[in-house]
Amino acid sequence: MASGGAGGGSKSYSFKVVLLGEGCVGKTSLVLRYCENKFNDKHITTLQASFLTKKLNIGGKRVNLAIWDTAGQERFHALGPIYYRDSNGAILVYDITDEDSFQKVKNWVKELRKMLGNEICLCIVGNKIDLDKERHVAIQEAEGYAESVGAKHYHTSAKLNKGIEELFLDLCKRMIETAQADERAKGNGSNQAGTARRGVQIVDDEPQNAAAAGGGCCSSG
């Protein structure tokens, strides 16, 4: 809180969050529901659902959230790193009625951890909980897996608008924590204080771990 507190009152954060997941798990539905409170079995009216923003105010801190949809087709898989470069958070969505889609999430987690280490906040999201009777991914398995890789797990339904606000709010809190830990680290070490200049990437692992732990505390409280 040292440097974060000093500028804290008026400081605003900009976060980039990528959406990953197999086709048809409901990524687009989730963001549209969150940013425009819309759900349709066939989406309408919005021109595009690939880049959406939302402004939030969390504990007096202003947050600009930019949500990046990514092309999920297999042939675009290799482009992943270009998309998630510099992102502060990733939302990995699977469909609870589709076991394969959960497998895909596991692959993404592996890749993200390999490429970005611990500096990205991971959310694993089981969507379509309104279809619980067709569930094919066990709750314990999913939550256990998430914990084992340092991610948080969420249950959502874009259709019933369940769990979505919580998901994004929680993610934002965790990203603020991470950013503040970042500032602290920079304040201690180099003179590169402050702004987003290639920010999140230049940090070594240690303070980052501390941040992840802090994020856990914050979100549970």
Partner 1 sequence: MSQKSERRGIHVDQSELLCKKGCGYYGNPAWQGFCSKCWREEYQRARQKQIQEDWALAERLQREEEAAYASSQGAQTQPTLAPFSKFEDKKTNVTTRKVTTVKKFFSPSSRAAPKKETQEAKAPSPSISRQSSVETDKVSRDFIDFLKNLQKPGRDIHKQCRVFLDTMANKKEVSAEEQSEYVQDFYQNVAEKLQVHFKGSSDRVERVMDQVEKYIMTRLYKSVFCPETTDDEKKDLAVQKRIRALHWVTLLMLCVPVNEDIPEVSDILVKAITDIIEMDSKRVPRDKLACITKCSKHIFNAIKITKKEPASADDFLPTLIYIVLKANPPRLQSNIQYITRFCNPSRLMTGEDGYYFTNLCCAVAFIEKLDAQSLNLSPEDFERYMSGQASPRRQDQDGYLSHVNNSPSLGQAYQNLEQLSGLGERQERVLEGARRLERDLIEWSDGVAREVQDILDKYPLEICPPASAIDSDNVENDRLPPPLQPQVFAG
* Binding residues vs ligand GTP (CB under 6 A): 21, 23-29, 41, 72, 127-128, 130-131, 157-159
Sheet holding 89-95, edge to edge: 51-58, 61-69, 12-21, 89-95, 121-127, 152-155
Check if the beta carbon of residue 127 is closer than 8 Å to that of residue 156: yes
28 binds Mg ion (CB under 5 A): yes
Nearer to partner 1, 126 or 199 (CB): 199
From the list partner 1, Mg ion, ligand GTP, none, which binds 194 (C-beta under 5 to 8 Å, kind-based)? partner 1
List 2, 6, 58, 193, residue binding partner 1 (CB under 8 A): 193
Check if the beta carbon of residue 211 is closer than 8 Å to that of residue 178: yes
Q: How many CB atoms lie within 10 A of CB 26?
A: 22
Site residues for partner 1, window 95-154 (CB under 8 A)?
none
Nearest Cα to 196, choosing from 42, 16, 29?
Answer: 16
* Interacting residue ranges for partner 1, rule: CB under 8 A: 7, 10-12, 14-16, 23, 27-28, 32, 42-51, 53, 64, 66, 68-73, 75-76, 78-79, 82-83, 85-86, 192-199
